[in-house]
């Protein structure tokens, strides 16, 4: 039987270390062994021993791919880490002045925000203060800090025209100095990149602060997007339109807003992550009819409520299928409903949702159930617990369950890196950045411009959303094809009476 490859790597690393430093070992213990414990990363271990991460990789090249609990790493001692090339020895100090942000400081020194945050553990964009002294690490090229690309999977046949460059070039345009949620998106994006780099994906990231529409237009005019493989950003209709029309890149990923009628530059393609309600409703209603077959559907409203698009389309579908349904109005002596009815509020309004829960409590039947809206995720923990009493289901293209092991791992790493918890928003911007970085950069590194042809081969492991783009517009201009893809993946999320949450993709 051949030796285990990981064990072989460790033996080779030890042999190399001994050949390099046998004389010094006799005088001082320059190399020690560290056993990996739960939740440790190579970066956290390097911080613990005050050793540059690249020094650990030199002695443990196999660790670039992955480390696991119980693995043994060779760690150079502090005596070897204080060399003239040590980041600590070359670091500088900066005193924060009024009006400065971490992002702006990082750009002034020619480093990435990721490097600045790592050099100053505990400092975040939300707690940096005037007069605070920051450590400024020596600029390092992204290429030097990135592992070599992993080989293509042997089971996938890819033509040379579909393979991405050795390094995926990414541009991120966000108002980082204006909005906390966009900083969280950026932080999650960095963490997603870090996970990819551990698997050998090489990335060059260009981050551009866009506090105004004019700033974004200026970057486009300067050619900052030229030759980019992936462009992320745009937070309003004007910015999204400008980025879509700009030429010279491969794919534009629209992370936030829903837009109509994108006008694309020649050869560009765009992916809308946040699908229009019509696309979601077209997928949700057939699943609703199948799930609640044989049960009476009761629409719930107050006198002041107007029906939103989902309630209107569901009513049409029920009528077309000849299925029983009716509407009741809350307030005063509200009528009773059958013990197995499905209640559907006519809109996502918070007060209507809470009034419907109160009505269900007065009915007293445990067989009644509730169907609702994506916005209900942001109504707080007490409301979520009330949903579980009625096995309530919502539809949504975004859903983050913090109780899963994968989510807990993400939250642990996020807190470790950035020293603050994620905001309770819908969607959660940090998780959105993490998911989009992992999906699109990984897809492009595997298949290049042709990644949309290989959707069935791409993993669906998003923490908050899965991506399954469907072409919704395409044409050809001057011999170059332009296409718009819309993410059509949607979830039915059920809050079970057992306290667990079930997320079913449709």
| In a shared domain, residues 269 and 389 | no
DSSP state of 174: E
User: Which CATH number goes with the domain that contains 100?
Assistant: 3.10.350.10
Average pLDDT for 122-150: 63
Domain count within the chain: 4
Q: Of 396, 421, 451, at which residue does a domain stop?
A: 396
What is the distance between the alpha carbons of residues 490 and 149, in angstroms, rounded to a whole number? 32
Residue closest to 191 by CA, chosen among 410, 41, 43: 410
pLDDT tens track for 384-425: 889 998 899 999 999 999 888 889 999 998 988 888 889 888
Residue with token string 């059509």: 488
CA distances from 265 to 109, 274, 483 (A): 34, 21, 10
**For the purposes of burial, counting CB atoms within 10 Å of the CB of 122, is it exposed (0-12), middle (13-18) or buried (19 or more)?**
exposed
Average pLDDT for 368-384: 90
Q: Of 121, 140, 159, at which residue does a domain stop?
A: 140
pLDDT tens track for 273-282: 988 888 889 9
| In a shared domain, residues 270 and 287 | no
| In a shared domain, residues 435 and 475 | yes
What is the distance between the alpha carbons of residues 217 and 214, in angstroms, rounded to a whole number? 5
Element (H, E) at 384: helix 381-388
Q: Which of 110-114, 138-142, 298-302, 497-501 is the least confident region?
A: 138-142
pLDDT band with cut points at 50, 70 and 90 for residue 230? very high
pLDDT (0 to 100) of residue 222? 95
pTM for the full model?
0.67
pLDDT band with cut points at 50, 70 and 90 for residue 381? confident
User: Which CATH number goes with the domain that contains 477?
Assistant: 3.40.50.2300
pLDDT tens track for 430-445: 999 999 999 999 999 9
- Residue 495 inside a domain? The answer is no
Q: What is the 3-state secondary structure (H, E, C) of 79-140?
A: HHHCCCCCHHHHCEEEECCCCCCHHHHHHHCCCCHHHHHHHCCCCCCCCCCCCCEEEECCCC
12 or 435, which is more confident = 435
**For the purposes of burial, counting CB atoms within 10 Å of the CB of 293, is it exposed (0-12), middle (13-18) or buried (19 or more)?**
exposed
- Residue 401 inside a domain? The answer is no
- Residue 100 inside a domain? The answer is yes
Average pLDDT for 71-76: 82
| In a shared domain, residues 252 and 310 | no
Host domain of residue 425: 147-275+406-489
| In a shared domain, residues 178 and 240 | yes
| In a shared domain, residues 433 and 392 | no
Average pLDDT for 61-73: 78
């Amino acid at each position: 039987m051949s030796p285990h490859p990981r064990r072989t790597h460790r033996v080779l690393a030890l042999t190399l270390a001994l050949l390099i430093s046998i004389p010094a070992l006799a005088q001082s213990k320059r190399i020690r062994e560290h056993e990996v414990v739960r939740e440790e990363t190579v970066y956290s271990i390097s911080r613990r021993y005050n050793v540059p991460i690249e020094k650990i990789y030199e002695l443990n090249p196999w660790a670039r791919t992955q480390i696991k609990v119980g693995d043994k790493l060779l760690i150079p001692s502090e005596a070897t880490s204080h060399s003239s090339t040590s980041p600590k020895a070359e670091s500088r100090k900066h005193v924060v002045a009024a009006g400065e942000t971490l992002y702006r400081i990082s750009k002034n020194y020619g480093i990435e925000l990721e490097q600045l945050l790592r050099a100053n553990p505990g400092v975040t964009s939300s707690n940096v203060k005037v007069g605070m002294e920051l450590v400024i690490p020596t600029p390092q090229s992204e290429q030097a800090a990135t592992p070599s690309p992993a080989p293509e999977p042997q089971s996938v046949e890819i033509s040379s025209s579909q393979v991405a460059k050795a390094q995926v070039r990414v541009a991120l345009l966000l108002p980082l100095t204006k909005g906390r949620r966009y900083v969280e998106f950026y932080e999650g994006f960095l963490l997603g990149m870090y996970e990819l780099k551990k698997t050998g994906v090489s990335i060059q990231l260009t981050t551009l602060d866009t506090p105004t529409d004019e700033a974004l237009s200026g970057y486009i005019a300067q050619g900052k997007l030229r030759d980019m493989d992936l462009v992320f950003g745009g937070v309003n209709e004007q910015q999204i339109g400008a980025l879509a029309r700009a030429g010279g890149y491969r794919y534009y990923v629209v992370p936030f807003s829903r837009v109509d009628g994108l006008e694309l530059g020649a050869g560009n393609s765009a992916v809308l992550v946040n699908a229009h309600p019509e696309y979601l409703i077209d997928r949700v209603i057939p699943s609703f009819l199948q799930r609640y077959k044989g049960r009476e559907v009761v629409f719930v409203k107050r006198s002041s409520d107007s029906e939103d698009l989902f309630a209107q389309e569901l009513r049409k579908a029920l009528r077309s299928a000849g299925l029983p349904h009716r509407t009741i109005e809350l307030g005063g002596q509200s009528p009773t409903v059958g013990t197995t009815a499905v209640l559907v509020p006519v809109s996502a309004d918070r007060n209507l949702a809470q009034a419907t829960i109160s009505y269900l409590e007065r009915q007293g039947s445990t067989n009644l159930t509730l169907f609702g809206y994506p916005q209900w995720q942001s109504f707080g923990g007490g409301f979520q617990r009330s949903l579980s009493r009625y096995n309530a289901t919502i539809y949504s293209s975004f859903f983050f369950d913090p109780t899963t092991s994968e989510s807990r791992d993400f939250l642990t790493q996020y807190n470790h890196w950035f020293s603050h918890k994620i905001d309770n928003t819908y969607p959660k911007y940090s998780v959105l950045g993490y998911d989009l970085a992992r999906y699109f950069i990984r897809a492009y590194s595997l298949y290049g411009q042709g990644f949309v042809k290989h959707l069935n081969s791409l993993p669906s492991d998003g923490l908050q959303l899965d991506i399954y783009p469907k072409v919704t517009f395409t044409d050809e201009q001057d011999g170059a094809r332009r296409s718009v893809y819309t993410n059509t993946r949607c979830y039915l999320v059920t809050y079970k009476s057992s306290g667990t949450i079930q997320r079913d993709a449709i």
